[in-house]
Amino acid sequence: MHIITGKHLPRRTFLRGVGATVALPFLNAMVPARRLWADTARGAALDQTRLVCIEMVHGSAGSNEYGASQNLWSPSQVGRGFDFGRSALRPLEPFREYLTVISNTDVEPAEAVIPQEIGGDHFRSSATFLTQAHPKQTESSDVLVGTSLDQVYAQRFGQDTPIPSMQLCIENVDQAGGCAYGYACVYTDTISWSSPTQPLPMVRDPRVAFDQLFGAGGSPEARAARQRSSRSVLDFIAGEVAQLKRSLDATDRARMDRYLEDIRELERRIERVVERNTSGEARALPEAPAGVPDSFDEHVKLMFDLQALAFESDVTRVFSFKMGRDASGRVYPESGVDKGFHPASHHGGNPAAVEEFARINEYHVGLVPYFLERLQRIQEGDATMLDKTMVIYGSPMGDSNVHNHKRCPLFVVGGANGQLAGDLHLQASPGTPMANVMLSLMHKLGMDDLESFGNSSGEFSLSSASDAARGSGGGAGLR
């Protein structure tokens, strides 16, 4: 780091020490004197919308006939000012002004096309979520699907960040070769594809993701040495921090202190997980790396905190986050349901069992506000990080009980730099591809030149309440 007194601090400033590289958050010192950040060329370049794409497998209880009649996924009313009712989206009510619900869309590319593909829905679905393309059935390396939405965005708008994009997951996704029904495991293991033939690996271990973000050791040996020393990554940049703070005003010093404390607190939480998992006590997830919490809740929140810090420091602007793995039997005690995820999704249409599955859906959605609150606390220029972020949450499965891909759950939350109106429930016409929504979201992200995406048949209006008026007052229904 090099500071020149009396001149503004470059936005792309790093604090470096042996085995550590920490990017700075936005500071007032980064704005040239008497100019607004948004009016500077660098400010405009760094004000790109942050993007998070979250996939949750197994569809939703609301895609079932009984679940649709009870509005167990999306609200009963369309348009603005809707009542959340019994919807699994109820936890998002505090953020309704940022929320756009899109119900009733289909992911046709996840369906079987030829007889040999029948039954393989769980093993090709994830590959379709962000590509909206049909995967080639193969157990070899000749995989083929499409370039995913997150990677199209990263290739255009993420190349001037230290890490163009990051891919995170919760479940075990390191299986090799074929999984079942003639599909390579990679179709199930990732939602990010940099090209139709290039899947991107996902990081499950929060400690590994932390090291990537904060340069904690330039090699495996250096990282191992740091971990053995029990030193914080911040210890390696203490001198740089002290030098920098002498040049900042009181507001920026307070912002730096909070940012560094957030890093240290996240580091402590990860350290506690490692200590617990290497203590010799029995683990609920004995196959998981030491940095992976046994608690789903704790794991997801660590991953959300990593994403928030990465956005605050502008290390990356693009995340894909796979929160489940198809056919997972994981139990979520916090949901109040003691059935495994996959067994619960095969509810047989029994109303009581559908209601149980809906509670799991609501539990998963209920973790998202933790992330939204975290983004809302980060101020960057004249807006919060939530104002500047688009979070896409959905599933390529509809009613997992019958392995269909109709009426798939999908919502978008965040201000997206003013591109999303919020407080809106839009219900698509029967047969509408989810790819139409994805195409429109890509346009909102600045990729206006794209004429199609996946199996899209056109754009989908994300701002017109009149488009959502069809079917107002009732459930989505089945077709």
What is the token pair recorded at 299? 């794991």
Cβ atoms of residues 329 and 45 within 8 Å: no
Secondary structure of residue 103 in the 3-state scheme: strand
Per-residue pLDDT of the chain (479 residues; tens, 9 = 90+): 434 334 578 888 888 887 788 999 999 998 875 555 555 545 555 589 999 999 999 999 999 999 999 999 999 999 999 999 999 999 999 999 999 999 999 999 999 999 999 999 999 999 999 999 999 999 999 999 999 999 999 999 999 999 999 999 999 876 666 788 999 999 999 999 999 999 999 999 999 999 999 986 555 666 566 566 667 889 889 999 999 999 999 999 999 999 999 999 999 999 999 999 999 999 999 999 999 999 999 999 999 999 999 999 999 999 999 999 999 999 999 999 999 999 999 999 999 999 999 999 999 999 999 999 999 999 998 899 999 999 999 999 999 999 999 999 999 999 999 999 899 999 999 999 999 999 999 999 999 999 999 999 999 999 865 543 333 333 333 33
State pTM to two decimals. 0.93
Which run of H or E residues covers position 253?
helix 250-277
Residues 6+ apart with CB under 8 A from 281: none
Amino acid at 127: A
Cβ atoms of residues 373 and 33 within 8 Å: no
Q: What is the DSSP letter of 112?
A: -
**Domain boundary assignment for the chain:** 50-204+292-469
Fold of the CATH domain 50-204+292-469: Alkaline Phosphatase, subunit A (3.40.720)
Q: Please state, in angstroms and rounded to a whole number, the distance separating the CA atoms of residues 245 and 234.
A: 14
What is the token pair recorded at 335? 């949901």
- For residues 292-304, one letter each, b for 16 or more C-beta atoms within 10 angstroms of the residue's C-beta and e for the rest, the string is bbebbbebbbbbb
Q: Helices 238-245 and 250-277 sit at what angle, rounded to 10 degrees? A: 160
R_g over Cα of the chain: 22
Q: Please state, in angstroms and rounded to a whole number, the distance separating the CA atoms of residues 479 and 221.
A: 58
